[in-house]
Amino acid sequence: MIPLDPLIKSLSRLPGIGEKSATRLAIQIFRDTTGLAQDLIKSLVHITEKVVFCQKCQNISEQDICDICSDTSRNTHLLCVVQEPVDLMMIEKTSEYKGLYHVLHGAISPLDGIGPEDLRVRALIERVSNEDIQEVILATNPNPEGETTALYLKKLLSASNTAIKISRIASGIPVGGTLEYADPKTLARSLGYRRDF
């Protein structure tokens, strides 16, 4: 395997890929005859040279200001805070949200050594101070890390701008789901978030 060692080592650095998987992948890439290695090189060069973080929302972008931030048809008073670029993508797929976004690139997780300073929090506070934002929707995950992050941001945002409205996405029984199979915490949250009908 020695000739493939550098590639195996690089691939092992990817999250969730151990040495065995990396070895298997390296052999497959080497054995491939359809230009997979060239494709990977080209696309990796592309991200190192052309892809940046949007200076406003911190999402992944090919321009300094991304398409969403520069879209004048969107509601610039509404800001949705998400953990990951993929969360933004999922919300965009619903076609229900027309405001702006802010991507934190993670959540507070003391066990993993991730604190607020590792997230794009300062940029968020600056935006809330400088832009005319009326409501911040905290759309971090409803799990311990996401909840901690939401609580932390609520405190920070309230302190920096008392006029701002802060909201949190709802948790509850998924659409199409049944109470029978819901876990107790979700069911309790679903009751707590009940609304007039």
* Residue 24 burial (CB count, 10 A): 13
Q: What number of H helices and E strands is found in the chain?
A: 7, 6
User: Which pair of tokens denotes residue 63?
Assistant: 């321009």
Q: Strands 52-53 and 135-138, how do they pair?
A: unpaired
Q: Which stretch binds its own copies (CB under 8 A): 29-37, 69-77, 118-126, 138-146?
A: 29-37
Q: Is 51 in the site for its own copies (CB under 8 A)?
A: yes
Site string for its own copies, 85-124 (x = CB under 8 A): xx--x---------------x-------------------
CA atoms within 13 A on the CB side of 54: 21
Q: Which two tokens stand for residue 18?
A: 């151990």
Residue from 26, 107, 124, 133 binding its own copies (CB under 8 A): 26
Terminal C-alpha separation, the chain: 65
From 2-10, 70-78, 114-122, 158-166, span contacting its own copies (CB under 8 A): 2-10
- Structure tokens, 74: 């969107």
Query: Contacting its own copies (CB under 8 A), which of 18, 28, 134, 177?
Result: 28
Among 18, 37, 126, 187, binds its own copies (CB under 8 A): 37
Task: Note whether 55 binds its own copies by CB under 8 A.
Answer: no
Whether the CB-CB separation of 167 and 135 falls below 8 Å is answered with: yes
Q: Name which of 43 and 160 has its Cβ closer to its own copies.
A: 43
- Assess 6 for contact with its own copies (CB under 8 A): yes
What type of residue is 75? N
Task: Answer yes or no whether residue 187 interacts with its own copies by CB under 8 A.
Answer: no
Contact by Cβ (8 Å): 100, 80: yes
Residues that bind its own copies (CB under 8 A): 1-4, 6-7, 9-11, 13-16, 21, 23-31, 36-48, 50-51, 60-62, 84-86, 89, 105
